[in-house]
A and B are shown apart, each in its own frame.
Chain A
């Protein structure tokens, strides 16, 4: 009897229209670096940046719609999500969650909708939850979206250490019940965290630990700060270990991996992880060069990019790995999906939401 599995059956993306190459980023923000240095150090040449009116919810809605279009094209008839999980570090509001508004804007009336926060590992976490819901028979068609607007919400444009890294965007996938041998089937995963290193990537103020208006806080305290060196070392170590754990649960060796799609944070991290795993560079797929680090949106955007460019055959043995603030990390194995990815431009909400 074929093994039941959650199957990825739709793939969508949305990127803000504005593309900012390194040279312009350096010039506009007076960063003490240059275009070549950024590319050499990070592998990033350009990123898409949201304008101030485009929010995480706008990008999520567009990517979600694109994923449903993609799924409909593959299935031959519309598939309706029965739960929406939005992985984001940059929700539209502190309260409520952004997922219910995204569901409403997509015309999904009354579906369960929740936000999941595990920073850059958020998509892998939400994917695990969605897979669990399908495997358990609780839901049939979860829509999983990763969406972020780091450049407008969290990043200090004048902080060279972070400003050069991040971009905005959203990626989305639809799941359906199927079997483990099908293209798109999710196979195994590994997730983990280490909360003793919360300080390595963080926004110091604005939460309950140091609320808005706390004495002594300045504007700088509301921006993302990162200990780049320590993050690099942890990222390499954690993604490698997590990938090995997921491979082990799938009974694959690194040689079996036909496609490795990592969280797109820094090309040197990706290369280092691939080297340690023994996955050849030709099997590593990503779009870091063109989009930068889009946090929770990164993995579905990279998956869509690889599918769009026909770089991986449907059904190919695929490994996903991610790492981020928390620290939180994860890895998944799957058969590469056959859904053709679609993309949509973000549209602003009819209103700007909760502005009194």
Chain B
């Protein structure tokens, strides 16, 4: 609507990758001492993809990144050096190492050595935060083409014996290529609504392993290394913040909820998604979901869902999309875009 910027980031390619191993509720039930039915009814999740031993976040990020780059390349008449990606953002809560960042390794493995590359931490909102900073870099003319990856191996920080968290959190990666373009063309990322509330920093957290309770001390071992979740506080804040951010993003676009063809919300859990959908007044068939088969993959959640929906034809060129996320921090984010023609999208299905 009132976006008068000369340039903005425009979606040029999308891809995702999930590790092939699927952990069913039956398999998980053996480990966590509850029934498969309890897991299904409590979480609405039937199965989730999990990384094999030795598989790290960069391995997933590289696969998703490659697919997004192939998707972007398919939209070009011929390979063109000017279309080389100059910046790589990896949004993750589970980097390969405490240092260095994961993005430089991902860039090198994608043939992009020399590119600017960094990790971004904003938990489940990380991918949309990544799109926002990519939009800034592109609009400012600092970058021409940015690969934004959301990648997680949450199983590396989840207590394998805790039914609540190990039923929900899973592994995966999704990625988008954005290029410099015009704010009103299809695929343009509208100004991303971003926010945070550090008063909620304790409610989704890994207590140990950071500067507050460093690994070399006593806190690196035992339960301190696992992700903790305070359900009721998270639920209340997630619904409130995601709904408000989504409404603000709609207002920026000049859209009503009825104008939205598809909502791509962070797949946090089925109850949060249902509450957000009802509050926004979105009909069930317009609410995208893959949580039943993918679980909550944090920063990977939104690009994985986008790539799957696009590949399977549930998102079509011209569709008006609303993207919204909420996560640890607390952080939240939302934006809108009109889905562009992406000739390479079917490749992303592979």
**Could you list which residues of chain A lie within 8 angstroms of chain B, going by C-beta atoms?**
52, 55-57, 83-84, 89-105, 109-119, 122, 125, 128-129, 131-139, 149, 152-154, 156, 189, 191-196, 198, 201-213, 219, 222-224, 324-328, 330, 351-356
Contact = CB atoms under 8 A, between A and B. Distances in A.
Given A194-B104, A208-B153, A355-B207, A93 B117 contact: no
Contact of A95 (B104, B117, B206): B206
B104 A207 contact: no
A158 to B, nearest CB: 11
B157 interface: yes
Given A189-B142, A209-B96, A212-B221, A354 B207 contact: yes
Given A136-B135, A192-B116, A209-B96, 18 more contacts: A83-B194, A93-B210, A95-B328, A99-B196, A100-B201, A102-B198, A122-B118, A135-B139, A153-B211, A193-B107, A194-B104, A194-B108, A205-B97, A208-B153, A353-B205, A354-B205, A355-B207, A356-B223
Nearest to A85: B133
B109 interface: yes
A203 B99 contact: yes
B301 interface: no
Given A95-B123, A100-B331, A112-B195, A193 B115 contact: yes
A117 B119 contact: yes
Interface string B309-320: 000000000000
Contact of A96 (B101, B102, B328): B328
Top 6 nearest A-B pairs (CB, nearest first) are A104-B198, A195-B108, A136-B139, A112-B194, A325-B100, A96-B328
B136 A136 contact: yes
B114 A192 contact: yes
Contacts of A91: 121, 210-211
Interface in B181-216: 191, 194-202, 204-216
A117 B121 CA distance: 8
B211 A92 contact: yes
Contact of A212 (B194, B220, B330): B220
A194 B107 CA distance: 8
Interface string B328-339: 111101000000
Given A128-B116, A128-B137, A138-B135, A103 B97 contact: no
B90 to A, nearest CB: 9
Contact of A114 (B139, B206, B331): B331
B122 A115 contact: yes
A136 B333 CA distance: 19
Contacts of B213: 93, 352, 355
A326 B196 CA distance: 28
Given A114-B331, A132-B137, A138-B139, A104 B197 contact: yes
Given A101-B198, A101-B201, A195-B106, A354 B57 contact: no
B122 A97 contact: yes
Contact of A90 (B94, B121, B210, B328): B210
A213 to B, nearest CB: 7
B140 A131 contact: yes
A149 B211 CA distance: 7
B14 interface: no
B140 A135 contact: yes
A107 to B, nearest CB: 10
Contacts of A129: 133, 136-137
Contacts of A101: 198, 201, 329
Given A110-B195, A206-B209, A212-B220, A89 B137 contact: no
A102 B211 CA distance: 14
Contacts of B113: 193-196
A354 B104 contact: no
B136 A138 contact: yes
B63 interface: no
B201 A353 contact: yes
Contacts of B191: 138
Contact of B225 (A83, A110, A212, A326): A212
B172 to A, nearest CB: 13
Contacts of A193: 88, 103-104, 107-108, 113-118
A90 B210 CA distance: 6
Contacts of B141: 135
Contacts of A206: 97-98, 209, 215, 220
A162 B105 CA distance: 23
A203 B139 CA distance: 35
A153 B220 CA distance: 11
A116 B116 contact: no
A113 B141 CA distance: 23
A332 B85 CA distance: 21
Which among A94, A115, A156, A219 has the highest number of chain B CB atoms within 10 Å?
A94
Contacts of B212: 55, 57, 92-93, 352-354
B132 interface: yes
A247 to B, nearest CB: 17
Nearest to A126: B118
Contacts of B209: 93-94, 206, 212
Contacts of B223: 356
Contacts of B153: 208
Interface in B119-161: 119-123, 126, 129, 132-133, 135-143, 153, 156-157
Contacts of A57: 211-212
A196 B112 CA distance: 11
Nearest to B125: A114
A329 B109 CA distance: 18
B95 A328 contact: no
A119 B114 contact: no
Contact of A211 (B88, B99, B157): B157
A55 B210 CA distance: 9
Which among B97, B118, B328 has the highest number of chain A CB atoms within 10 Å?
B118
Contact of B121 (A97, A134, A354): A97
B228 interface: yes
B227 interface: yes
Contact of A112 (B100, B108, B129): B129
Contacts of B136: 129, 132-133, 135-136, 138-139
Which among A56, A115, A212, A213 has the highest number of chain B CB atoms within 10 Å?
A212
